[in-house]
Amino acid sequence: MNSFTEENYLKAIFKLSKHKEEVSTNAVADELNTKASSVTDMIKKLADKKLVNYAPYKGVNLTDAGRKIAVSVIRKHRLWEVFLVDKLKFKWDEVHDLAEELEHINSEELTERLEEFLEFPKYDPHGDPIPDKNGNIDRHKEQTLADLSINETGIIVGVKDHSKSYLNYLDNVGLVLGAEVQILGVVEFDNSMSISINKQGKTIISNQASKNLYIKKPN
């Protein structure tokens, strides 16, 4: 068995691996709000357990065994978020911290029954794909609202930033999953956008806001 802490390190390394093959000590320290020296210690332990490949000064990456654990923790995190939002009526900006704890309860039986109870959801409340029990994940489409040009339209399918403040802001302006957004104009100076939401009105959003919204082009 692995401790909560070990699971959190594996999850952090997994997340950071999307951007770079080799993950640096400092990147992990930042992600987990801890110190580089603590990261070095933990990485050595994970390397002893063959959950990461590690060469001093060269960074880490996950072994297959490590990746399997990371994905299973992510699977549980996202399933619990669906439970909290769909069944307990939490809002999408309230569930992350609770899921951060629930994700460490290790019981295949529990996870599978929860998944069934939730009717096999494919995405969590933030639009992130839920890995299946074999560890397969839908690759996330990387197109954001900021990538669209004038007059183009997109459907919101996910958020990149999961912070309470961002999610709250999105709620307030109506930028929720499934909303249809059309670009009315882009300010060249700061890339802020003027948009319509579900063909309604005109809203100005910053580049900071638009580049954190995943969209898909409508069919």
Partner DNA sequence: TAATATTTTTAGACTTATCTAAATTTATTT
Partner DNA sequence: AAATAAATTTAGATAAGTCTAAAAATATTA
- Tell me if 91 sits within 8 A of 97, measured CB to CB: no
- DSSP for 50-72, written as a single string: TSEEEETTTEEEE-HHHHHHHHH
Looking at the Cβ atoms of 35 and 217, the one nearer to DNA is 35
Q: Find tokens 């704890």 and name the residue.
A: 101
Distance of CA 199 to the CA centre of its chain: 28
Compose the 72-111 pattern: x for residues touching Mn ion by CB under 5 A, - for all others: ---------x--------------x---------------
Helix or strand or coil: residue 93?
A: coil
Looking at the Cβ atoms of 7 and 128, the one nearer to Mn ion is 128
Looking at the Cβ atoms of 22 and 152, the one nearer to DNA is 22
Regarding 11 and contact with Mn ion (CB under 5 A), the answer is no
List interacting residues with a copy of itself (CB under 8 A): 84, 87-90, 94, 98, 101-102, 105, 107, 109-110, 113-114, 117
DSSP state of 146: G
What minimum distance in Å lies between the beta carbon of 58 and DNA?
7
List interacting residues with DNA (CB under 7 A): 3, 5-6, 24-27, 34-45, 54, 56-59
In degrees and rounded to multiples of 5, residue 48 shows phi and psi of -60, -35
